[in-house]
Amino acid sequence: MTEIVSKRSDIQPLKCLIVDDESIAVRGISNYIKKISFLVQEDSCSSAAEAVEILKRKEIDLMFLDISMPHMTGIELLETLENVPLTIIATTYSEFAIEGYRLNVTDYLLKPYSFERFSQAVHKAREIFMSHIILQNCGEDYKSNLFIRQGDSFKRISWEEILYAEAMQNYLKLYFKGKTIVIHQKISSLEELLPYDYFFRIHRSFLVNISHIDSLSGGYVNINGRELPLSKQRKVELLKSVVLKNLISK
């Protein structure tokens, strides 16, 4: 059994950043972080602008973010950031939960929250942080055994069921029929793991399973009712190497 993706050390804790304009709220999160063995507080700040600077300078694995802050809200921060770490929103506003979901946040804590609820959220974050696809190579059964590592457990998946994968900076979202899984892996490394003949990178952020493509139209690829963008450079290649080849083989 060989693991192609390098295994992250379990002992290394997640480096956290707290962004909240009220220092008591920062201390509240800080106190909770101290109680969780796999978290360590790297830094804290009171505005989105400061957060941008810190994220440029330091490596942050998990960010706790308030929404209502002067000048720039937490939501705006998430929209402007290029490289978003795993994010847990901690706010008093319940009405931004849907926005948060759109921006792929890990969890949404409503102030005030209990330590149990906090712990649940950070465990979810850790699960995503630890999860990546591992390939079990069993000689002849080439590239057929894929596992998703979630914390200490492994979950078997078959690549035929993957519809497509969407990149979100250091993470990616795997779409199956009826469910999605977020894993901590770059889309390029996933591309290496999956059978080359069946998966095609149609865009910087999208890797699709060719057998699930419903239609191609203009600059878009339709899969499972969603329109995915098809970049110009890849369009020709997709048509040539994939669609035509498949047609001929039939």
Partner 1 sequence: MKNDILKRIGYKTFLVIFCTGVVFLFWIQLLNQAPVIETIAFVLCIFIPLLLIAVYLSNYILPKVMVRLKKEAIIVFFIIASLLMSLIFALTVKGFSLLEKKNIFEPSLLFCFTDTLSLELLKAIPSVIFINLGFCGMRFYREHLKQEKIKHEFQLKFLQEQITPHFMFNVLNHINTLMQEDVNLASTLLIRYSDILRYQLYNGRKELISLNQEMEFLKNFIEIEKVRWEDKLVVSCSWKIDDNEKEIPPLLFVNLIENAFKHVSRTSSEKGFITITFEQHKNELELMVINSKSIIHSQKNECSGLGLENTAERLDILYPGKYKLFKEETGTTYIVKLNIIALT
**Chain positions contacting partner 1, by CB under 8 A:** 21-25, 27-28, 31, 45-47, 49-50, 68, 70-72, 92-93, 110-113
Q: How far is the CB of 68 from partner 1 (least distance, A)?
A: 7
Comparing CB distances to partner 1, the nearer of 121 and 165 is: 121
CB of 24 to partner 1, least distance (A): 5
What type of residue is 25?
Answer: A
Cβ closest to partner 1, residue 5 vs residue 72: 72
Nearer to partner 1, 25 or 210 (CB): 25
What does residue 19 show for φ and ψ, rounded to 5 degrees?
-120, 110
CB of 23 to partner 1, least distance (A): 5
Q: Looking at beta carbons only, is 75 or 167 nearer to partner 1?
A: 75
DSSP 109-175: EESS--HHHHHHHHHHHHHHHH--EEEEEETTEEEEEEEEEETTEEEEE-GGG--EEEEETTEEEEE
| Distance in angstroms between the alpha carbons of the first and the last residue of the chain | 35
Provide the CA 210 distance to its chain's centre, in angstroms: 22
Task: Supply the minimum distance, in Å, between the C-beta of residue 36 and partner 1.
Answer: 14
Strand ordering across the sheet containing 179-183: 179-183, 171-176, 164-168, 206-209, 199-203
Query: Which residue's CB is nearer to partner 1, number 93 or number 175?
Result: 93
Query: Which of residues 111 and 240 has its CB atom nearest to partner 1 in the complex?
Result: 111
Cα atoms in the 13 Å half-sphere on the side-chain side of 196:
2
Neighbouring residues of 35: CB distance < 8 A, sequence distance ≥ 6: 115
Closest separation in Å from C-beta 197 to partner 1: 48
* Nearest distance, CB of residue 39 and partner 1, angstroms: 17
Smallest gap from residue 55 Cβ to partner 1 (A): 17
Residue closest to 164 by CA, chosen among 227, 245, 96:
227
Question: Which C-beta is closer to partner 1: that of 96 or that of 171?
Answer: 96
Report which of 246, 225, 160 is spatially closest to residue 199, judged by C-alpha positions: 160
Sheet holding 220-223, edge to edge: 215-217, 220-223, 226-229
Integer angstrom CA distances of residue 115 from 30, 32, 35, 45: 12, 7, 9, 22
